[in-house]
Amino acid sequence: MSKIEIEGLYKIFGPRAKTQAMPLVKKGKSKAEILKQTGCTVGINDASFQIEKGEIFVIMGLSGSGKSTVIRCLNRLIEPTSGSVKIDGENIVNLPPEKLREVRRKKMGMVFQKFGLLPHRSVIDNVAFGLEIQGLDKNTRLEKAREAIDLVGLQGYEESMTQALSGGMQQRVGLARALANDPEILLMDEAFSALDPLIRVGLQNELLELQARMHKTIVFITHDLDEALKLGDRIAIMKDGEVIQIGTPEEILTEPANEYVRSFVENVDRSKVITAGTVMEKPYALAVNDDGPHLVTRKMKQTGHSTIFAVDRERNFLGYVSIDDSIELTKKVPLAEDDQAKRNIRGIIRTDVATCSPETSLNDLLNSAANSKMPIVVTDENGKFKGIVSHVALISGIAGDETSETEVCS
Ligand SMILES: Nc1ncnc2c1ncn2[C@@H]1O[C@H](COP(=O)(O)OP(=O)(O)OP(=O)(O)O)[C@@H](O)[C@H]1O
Ligand SMILES: [Mg+2]
């Protein structure tokens, strides 16, 4: 796993990039103005960000916004005009050619939109091709290529000619070729964009499964927001060579930095991305299992509720108590005993209530919500009570209703 740090990165295309265009860029002139005045195209305009070890970092933006230029500066297929690109602390912008080749070979694999395969050679030859260039002996090459072919699920196709394969399978070959060397960084430029939607979704799922095992640092470019939201641990949004916003899928959806980002995300299916942890609220009160029925009944009556959620003293979630059960119990228990906590509500706690984790998507809560009038209870991995998702919070979370009052519980 490798960390990538990009600092003050610029790429201007054109013969007068440094002398004429850069001063104008630094003055804040627009991409269009600079093109008109100098004939130079601004590819990247002062990008600074870090890509963490083991994350899938998605870069998205409209055509021409600079995505491919950024990813190609990471392995210097394009030379930056200025700025630095550090990989595990080493600035690759200054590396002499042979050192750069070594970093590319050892640390990086690249997958392109057009698969870039050799059409008249077999799958295994294609996958082993990069290893051949590195001068590995034949047996090692074939062994590594077979491992990569297994990884992407192409066992049995080793000897097939790549041109005879479907687009989805060809792209698996491309992925296997990038993985053959076990690189720490995987650069994927629109890798799935040429595929049919169903095949594309399948490969997205496989990439996520692979990543759960491999923990590579993946830079993934797409202009498809659904793909970005699905794959990205974080997403960078670019416009005219500038990085406009970087955030988790939820942050991009719930706090778009400006109108441009907002217009990107307005038609997205929020229910798949927004989670219970984001929309959960504090309940009006909680009952503790040691509470007596008089106290618990009073809590409900005072606030006009007919149920109350119950926890133990460590805030482990137990279930809920209904007002009818609680009143019934008060009849059997003198108030004095209630106060001394001799009798408590343990025997009347009901458990027919849905729970979820803070990471559960709102989409996955819809079924539970449809089957019960009760809010859904959010618990952490140890079963501790975190908050509740009411039907109103669920619906306004999905609708993106900014006026709804959602309060995150501690
Ligand atoms: N070799 C080049 N020479 C001149 N201009 C270039 C070159 N490569 C890219 N550009 C320009 O730089 C800008 C960014 O291009 P880039 O290819 O990075 O965009 P992109 O976001 O990858 O777009 P797409 O979604 O179409 O792939 C564009 O205005 C493009 O025209
Ligand atoms: Mg591109």
Q: What is the pLDDT of residues 146-195, one digit of tens each?
A: 999 988 889 999 999 988 888 888 888 999 999 998 899 999 999 988 88
Per-residue pLDDT tens digits for 283-336: 999 999 999 999 999 999 999 999 999 999 999 999 999 999 999 999 887 776
Which structure tokens are listed for 141?
A: 């090459």
Average pLDDT on 51-70 reads 95
Closest CA to 10 of 37, 58, 33, 42: 42
Q: What span, in angstroms and rounded, lies between the C-alpha atoms of 41 and 34?
A: 7
Q: What span, in angstroms and rounded, lies between the C-alpha atoms of 300 and 283?
A: 12
Is 65 near ligand 1, meaning CB less than 6 Å away?
Answer: yes
Output the pLDDT for position 340. 57
CA 63 – ligand 1 centroid, Å:
8
Mutate to test the pocket of ligand 1, among 40, 58, 68, 114 (most ligand atoms within 8 A of CB): 68
CA end-to-end span of the chain, whole Å? 33
Ligand 1, atom nearest to 78 Cα: 1
Output the pLDDT for position 342. 64
CA 68 – ligand 2 centroid, Å:
4
Q: What span, in angstroms and rounded, lies between the C-alpha atoms of 51 and 391?
A: 37
Is 260 near ligand 1, meaning CB less than 6 Å away?
Answer: no
Q: With pLDDT > 70 as the criterion, what percentage of the chain qualifies?
A: 96
Closest CA to 70 of 186, 292, 251, 219: 219
Q: What span, in angstroms and rounded, lies between the C-alpha atoms of 31 and 64?
A: 11
Delimit the domains of the chain by residue range.
4-268, 276-399
Residue 279 has pLDDT above 70, yes or no: yes
Output the pLDDT for position 220. 97
Is 39 near ligand 1, meaning CB less than 6 Å away?
Answer: no
Average pLDDT on 196-209 reads 88
Average pLDDT on 39-52 reads 96
Beta strands 307-311 and 317-322 are antiparallel
Closest CA to 80 of 29, 164, 159, 18: 18
Query: pLDDT band at 405, cuts 50/70/90?
Result: very low
Greater model confidence, 136 or 364: 364
**What is the architecture of the domain spanning 276-399?**
Roll (3.10)
Q: What are phi and psi of 94, to 5 degrees?
A: -95, 0
Total residue count of the chain as it appears in this document: 410
Report how many helices (DSSP H) and strands (DSSP E) the chain contains, helices first. Answer: 17, 16
Residue 409 has pLDDT above 70, yes or no: no
Output the pLDDT for position 410. 38
Closest CA to 111 of 64, 153, 184, 173: 173
Which structure tokens are listed for 361?
A: 């998507």
CA-based angle 278:56:176, to the nearest 5?
145
Q: What span, in angstroms and rounded, lies between the C-alpha atoms of 174 and 112?
A: 8
Per-residue pLDDT tens digits for 71-118: 999 999 999 999 999 999 999 999 999 999 889 888 999 998 776 788
> Domain spanning 4-268: which CATH class is it, in words?
alpha beta
DSSP state at residue 122: B
Atom 27 (ligand 1): residue with closest C-alpha? 63
Is 130 near ligand 1, meaning CB less than 6 Å away?
Answer: no
Contact yes or no for 116/189 (Cβ under 8 A): no
Q: What span, in angstroms and rounded, lies between the C-alpha atoms of 393 and 378?
A: 13
Which ligand neighbours the alpha carbon of 243 most closely?
1
Sheet strand arrangement including 90-91:
41-51, 4-13, 82-87, 90-91
- The burial class, CB within 10 Å (0-12 / 13-18 / 19+), for 227 is buried
Atom 25 (ligand 1): residue with closest C-alpha? 63
Is 375 near ligand 1, meaning CB less than 6 Å away?
Answer: no
CA 388 – ligand 2 centroid, Å:
43
Query: pLDDT band at 338, cuts 50/70/90?
Result: low
Q: What span, in angstroms and rounded, lies between the C-alpha atoms of 93 and 82?
A: 9
